[in-house]
């Protein structure tokens, strides 16, 4: 098992503030990120993963680059850019995107979505799902796994509502680093502090000896989830449409044209009547889309 990194899940840096660990290396304070270099790297980030880094994010980018400069032994940003440009294997690009993405998440984050699932969706699966087909849920930017594991716990707690047909969760993210942590399902005790005690006891194993202070998600929950690296900027190639898509707290990093394209792609891979959940700070107001508003941060495919 891989120990989660200290500080995981804290400080999302979305406001451009420095984040924990940014200045803890020798290069932390001492290298320049010129305007031209910033603009080159920001365009690369936009092209690769849709994340829009405005001028206000220069310090954030500089702080995040420090990790990669240190890991690759590059002496300055220019050398690192050359390294990225000559990266035939794609390995450094993946590592670069791993440090660029903001991964803040929590168990039971924005709980109204899970209440909606329990109160409105699960009791009406006969209308939403075709025949006896299984319920398919996609956690489309799952970060370190808290969102899909919350979904799995909620499903397990309401098993009679879907057991006959079955249910599965696809969890995807761009970052290989967070996907590895999600798959391991190992969390420091303080990360699970807000999970209701009965659920914690039921669905997590307490670590012992060198794992003291950690818990691990039990296998019955882990096996409900399939993980996959997926860039939301790519075309989607799913065999079957989803009944529910969670895409929360990632669209805030995209500009409006990118959000519009993404919402349209989500619409296309939802069943008629299927739901898209977005973060509560990411209303789709102001962008063109063909989904119906169901309630704040919940949208529905109509046709
Ligand atoms: C702030 S986390 C949100 C996690 C979870 N959905 C939640 O609301 O708690 C945003 C996640 O989006 C992922 N992400 C950013 N750009 C992406 C892209 N183009 N494709 C897929 N995932 C992306 C990041 O790696 C990060 O894990």
Asked if 164 is an active-site residue, the reply is no
Ligand 1 mean position, distance from CA 105 (Å): 9
- Active-site residue (options: 62, 68, 98, 173): 173
How many residues are present in the chain? 303
Per-residue confidence (pLDDT) for residue 29, from 0 to 100: 53
For 200, counting Cβ atoms within 10 Å of its Cβ (0-12 exposed, 13-18 middle, 19+ buried), the class is middle
CATH topology of domain 112-300: Rossmann fold (3.40.50)
**187 touches 214 (CB < 8 A):** yes
Q: What is the DSSP letter of 191?
A: G
Pocket flag, ligand 1, residue 98 (CB < 6 Å): no
Mean pLDDT of the chain: 90
**Among 230, 228, 302, which residue's Cα sits nearest to residue 267?**
302
Per-residue confidence (pLDDT) for residue 23, from 0 to 100: 30
Q: Could you read off the pLDDT of 138-153 as tens digits, one per residue? A: 999 999 999 999 999 9
Pocket flag, ligand 1, residue 173 (CB < 6 Å): yes
**Among 17, 12, 85, which residue's Cα sits nearest to residue 47?**
85
What distances in angstroms separate CA 253 from CA 100, 101, 138, 142, one per listed residue? 11, 9, 20, 15
Best residue for ligand 1 mutational test, from 49, 101, 251 (most atoms within 8 Å of Cβ)? 101
Distance separating alpha carbons of residues 262 and 270, to the nearest angstrom: 13
What distances in angstroms separate CA 7 from CA 22, 105, 161, 256, 271, one per listed residue? 11, 12, 37, 31, 38
Distance separating alpha carbons of residues 188 and 269, to the nearest angstrom: 35
Distance separating alpha carbons of residues 291 and 137, to the nearest angstrom: 18
DSSP H stretches of helix in the chain: 35-49, 58-72, 77-85, 91-100, 112-116, 125-128, 146-157, 176-184, 197-203, 219-222, 256-268
Domain ranges in the chain with CATH number 1.10.155.10? 1-100
Options 3.10.105.10, 1.10.3720.10, 1.10.155.10, 1.10.10.60; which CATH number does 1-100 get?
Answer: 1.10.155.10
Domain ranges in the chain with CATH number 3.40.50.150? 112-300
How would you list the strands of the sheet with 214-217, edge to edge?
186-188, 214-217, 204-206
Distance separating alpha carbons of residues 29 and 274, to the nearest angstrom: 48
Best residue for ligand 1 mutational test, from 137, 174, 180, 194 (most atoms within 8 Å of Cβ)? 174
Q: Could you read off the pLDDT of 78-137 as tens digits, one per residue? A: 999 999 999 989 999 999 999 999 999 999 999 999 999 999 999 999 999 999 999 999
* Ramachandran sector of residue 50 (left: φ over 0; alpha: ψ -120 to 50; beta: rest): left
Distance separating alpha carbons of residues 254 and 231, to the nearest angstrom: 13
- Active-site residue (options: 58, 64, 109, 136): 64
Q: Are strands 204-206 and 214-217 parallel, antiparallel or unpaired?
A: antiparallel
Asked if 165 is an active-site residue, the reply is no
Distance separating alpha carbons of residues 254 and 52, to the nearest angstrom: 5
pTM of the model: 0.89
Pocket flag, ligand 1, residue 145 (CB < 6 Å): no
What's the CA angle centered on 56, arms 53 and 62, to 5 degrees?
75
Per-residue confidence (pLDDT) for residue 303, from 0 to 100: 83
User: Please, which residues bridge with residue 204 across strands?
Assistant: 217
Distance separating alpha carbons of residues 146 and 266, to the nearest angstrom: 21
All residue ranges of the chain with pLDDT < 50 are 1-28
Per-residue confidence (pLDDT) for residue 15, from 0 to 100: 32
Per-residue confidence (pLDDT) for residue 50, from 0 to 100: 96
Best residue for ligand 1 mutational test, from 172, 231, 250, 277 (most atoms within 8 Å of Cβ)? 250
User: Please, which residues bridge with residue 167 across strands?
Assistant: 135
């Amino acid at each position: 098992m891989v120990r989660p990194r200290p500080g995981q899940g804290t400080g999302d840096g979305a406001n451009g503030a420095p984040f924990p660990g940014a200045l803890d290396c020798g290069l932390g304070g001492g290298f320049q990120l010129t305007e031209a270099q910033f603009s080159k790297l920001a365009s690369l980030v936009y092209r690769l993963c849709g994340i829009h880094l405005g001028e206000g994010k220069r310090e954030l980018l500089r702080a995040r680059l420090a990790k990669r400069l240190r890991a690759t032994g590059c002496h300055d940003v220019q050398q690192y850019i050359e390294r990225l440009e000559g990266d035939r294997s794609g390995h450094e690009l993946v590592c670069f995107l791993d440090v660029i993405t903001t991964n803040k998440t929590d168990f039971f984050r924005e709980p109204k979505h899970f209440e909606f699932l329990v109160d409105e969706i699960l009791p009406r699966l006969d209308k939403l799902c075709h025949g006896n087909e299984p319920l398919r849920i996609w956690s489309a930017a799952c970060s370190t796994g808290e969102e899909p594991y919350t979904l799995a716990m909620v499903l397990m707690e309401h098993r009679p509502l879907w057991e006959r047909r079955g249910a599965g969760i696809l969890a995807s993210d761009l970052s290989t680093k967070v996907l590895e942590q999600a798959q391991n399902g190992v969390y420091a005790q303080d990360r699970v502090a807000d999970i209701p005690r009965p659920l914690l006891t039921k669905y997590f194993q307490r670590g012992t000896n060198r794992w003291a202070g950690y818990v691990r998600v039990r296998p019955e929950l882990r096996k409900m989830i399939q993980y996959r690296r997926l860039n939301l900027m790519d075309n989607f190639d799913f065999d079957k449409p989803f009944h529910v898509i969670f895409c929360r707290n990632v669209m805030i990093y995209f500009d409006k044209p990118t959000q519009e394209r993404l919402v349209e792609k989500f619409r296309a891979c939802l069943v008629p009547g299927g739901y898209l959940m977005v973060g509560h700070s990411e209303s789709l107001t102001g962008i063109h889309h063909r989904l119906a508003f169901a309630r704040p941060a919940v949208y529905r495919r109509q046709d």
